[in-house]
A and B are shown apart, each in its own frame.
Chain A
């Protein structure tokens, strides 16, 4: 199974998420993560969708089907090496009186994670990184008892020097249009 990141640029209208996800559902492709926000251009949304699939061919077909949605302006499919990407995670970690104190120096310097909220009996730590880095930190902090953990979807931008404006929607996947 290879991880693919699909970036979809759409008009920002009601129901567009539904129009996109139904294309995955029909082909029984599970969405591992999904992030949506408006881009630097007003009225244009950017979806970052991560899936795992064994067939690049199937992913290319999926990308073409997404492109058919009228509100979609452009779709790009990427392998991990094509993109810079990150996720953010928040950990609510128990720190009861008398327990082993957190090693803040290691958390900051070795794991590049930061405490963003202190409470008498717990702290909230923010960690940014790839999925692997976040789970490395997860394993490190686990002995302290994780009360709550949340991980965002992936955000990604292409490593290619071209900007969106330079692209035809089809450029990334050898598109036949």
Chain B
């Protein structure tokens, strides 16, 4: 690539979408909506306000083409767009106003960048002549969001709108996906464009070209390590779902017979029924997968970034193993764990290209080692959790019962905390793209808005939000959005009247000094009813099956509160600073 080849930022794509409905010059706001439609957007999650009113005026004319979902707080719009993006693989779109509208989005944008979620946020801004004057609802949104966006841009001229929106979608979705923010001044929304509206999809940029097909020599080096390995272990990361590599992954695993385990965001990319699926990795992952990470001779990491919740103490993490790292973001290579054979590229293409290079193999004995640990974990943790002798309901039995009733095929949206870890442990995912949760940022309040975003993206699938009583109260107002839009999401609150994960840490590491973790909760069912949403509280084990059946049978939104054991702990656990092999069972 040379710098003199092309000085323009975008190189135009194939067939431009030219406005035929309105051949006269249109204003910036209409250009925004027409560009979104040209990019295939059918749903926008948003909230109006002063600086974005011209766009809201325009959207009024396009209600037959674009479904606008009015959230109750901008954070809800961001998480809903994330839920939509995570289930569909398409770009989620938010539309909000300047100042507080924009700052309320910030948590969701930060969540999207760390979990590689494609999102375009369109934000109103004060008129360009007011920029920098501390005008009403003016905030330096560009400055605030630089560290948490894949790209951000401020539009002050209506003529720029189609090109910048096209660029935003291309950047958000290509390579390692992420959030893009477009800040549009009010005058740019109001002014007429000086030229006819033309929307050309961006297909290439001068300064950004993610590599999709890995280099042959990288594939050859990786294949050599894979073919030599006696105890190889494959890690399924979020990249498998993002690139749609589920089938390629299975072909690769079935040819090589390599055992596999999943990161939190990799869950559901491989069915729990697959004989090579060994479980979940990391802090609350399975016993065998963690212990044997330190006994394998090769790690094949596919689309994952060795988060500290996966690795535990790095100085004692898989030191004996060589590492093949398949990853689309070159900055992730060697960032945490040194790769002996880096493979930079898209996971799906990389696995496809690797397949003919790897030998058929049989790893029965090696796989059997995982089973030994499974038996111990089953006896010490899983069985007691699933068939408790205590009076109170345990989280695990709720989740496993739900898993059985939905045949492991529902879309599960988990919030953050103990219930999230329990969901990851006990829901038996059998269908790809079925688990949505805030992994990297750990954003409490994520699940309720993300669940209706997911329902919009997958209207034919059962979507169940698993939420703790603490998390629920962070975005509880989104019940209003669910009620108004009539999206039939099912909400389960696992209520232990505690901020359970913090309480668990205080019990284990702070001598049971329970510092501000006990919650005096409202009557959730009355609140739901106030929003017009049906609900029921399940307090007894005998009632659990019937409660879940009623919830699943409903064709409307439904809230099920389950009163669970107050002081349960999530085990196994690799405490912070410990080594994966030192995973605790109690």
Contact = CB atoms under 8 A, between A and B. Distances in A.
The answer to whether A and B belong to the same complex is yes
Interface of A: 9-11, 14-15, 18-19, 22, 26, 41-44, 57, 60-61, 64-65, 67-68, 70-73, 164-165, 168-170, 175-177
Contact of A164 (B3, B146, B218): B3
A177 B330 contact: yes
Contacts of B4: 41, 165
B207 A68 contact: no
Interface of B: 1-4, 7, 9, 142-143, 146-147, 150-151, 154, 171, 205-208, 211, 218, 329-331, 333-335, 339, 342, 344
A9 B4 CA distance: 13
A176 B342 contact: yes
Q: Do most interface residues of chain B lie in helix, strand or loop, or is the interface mixed?
A: loop
Nearest to B218: A176
B331 A168 contact: no
A165 B208 contact: no
Contacts of A57: 334
A160 to B, nearest CB: 17
B207 A70 contact: yes
Contact of A176 (B146, B151, B330): B330
B333 A165 contact: no
A120 B175 CA distance: 64
A143 B216 CA distance: 64
Contacts of B211: 177
B344 A176 contact: yes
Contacts of B142: 15, 18
Contacts of A177: 211, 330, 344
A76 B509 CA distance: 45
Contact of B154 (A9, A14, A60): A14
A73 B207 contact: yes
B536 to A, nearest CB: 47
B165 to A, nearest CB: 15
A72 B1 CA distance: 13
B331 A41 contact: no
B329 to A, nearest CB: 7
Nearest to B8: A43
Contact of B206 (A18, A42, A73, A176): A73
Given A11-B9, A70-B205, A73-B3, A26 B147 contact: yes
Nearest to A165: B2
Given A11-B206, A15-B146, A22-B146, A70 B171 contact: yes
A63 B334 CA distance: 13
Contacts of A15: 142-143, 146, 154
B337 to A, nearest CB: 13
Nearest to A71: B207
Contacts, number: 65
A44 B8 CA distance: 11
A44 B2 CA distance: 12
A15 B142 CA distance: 8
Contact of B331 (A9, A10, A68, A165): A68
B3 A41 contact: yes
B375 to A, nearest CB: 40
Contacts of A11: 9, 206-207
B46 to A, nearest CB: 25
Nearest to A44: B3
B1 A70 contact: no
Nearest to B178: A68
B3 A19 contact: no
A43 B7 contact: yes
Contacts of B147: 22, 26
A46 to B, nearest CB: 11
B208 A70 contact: yes
Nearest to A26: B147
Contacts of B334: 57, 60-61, 176
7 contacts: A26-B147, A44-B3, A64-B335, A67-B330, A71-B207, A72-B207, A168-B1
A19 B146 CA distance: 6
Complex A-B, nearest 7 residue pairs according to Cβ-Cβ distance, in ascending order: A64-B331, A165-B2, A70-B151, A73-B207, A176-B342, A177-B330, A176-B333
Nearest to B211: A177
B285 to A, nearest CB: 26
A18 B2 contact: no
A47 to B, nearest CB: 14
Nearest to B327: A176
Contacts of A73: 3, 206-207
A42 B6 CA distance: 11
Given A15-B143, A19-B146, A42-B7, 18 more contacts: A9-B3, A14-B154, A15-B142, A15-B154, A18-B142, A18-B143, A26-B147, A41-B4, A68-B329, A70-B205, A72-B207, A73-B3, A73-B207, A170-B330, A175-B330, A176-B218, A176-B339, A176-B344
Contacts of A65: 331
Contacts of B171: 70
Nearest to A16: B146
Contacts of A26: 147
Contacts of A43: 7
A72 B206 CA distance: 9
A155 B448 CA distance: 53
Contacts of B331: 61, 64-65, 67-68
A19 to B, nearest CB: 5
Contacts of B154: 14-15
Most buried by B among A41, A67, A70, A169: A70
Contacts of B150: 70
A64 B334 CA distance: 11
Contacts of A168: 1
Contacts of B342: 176
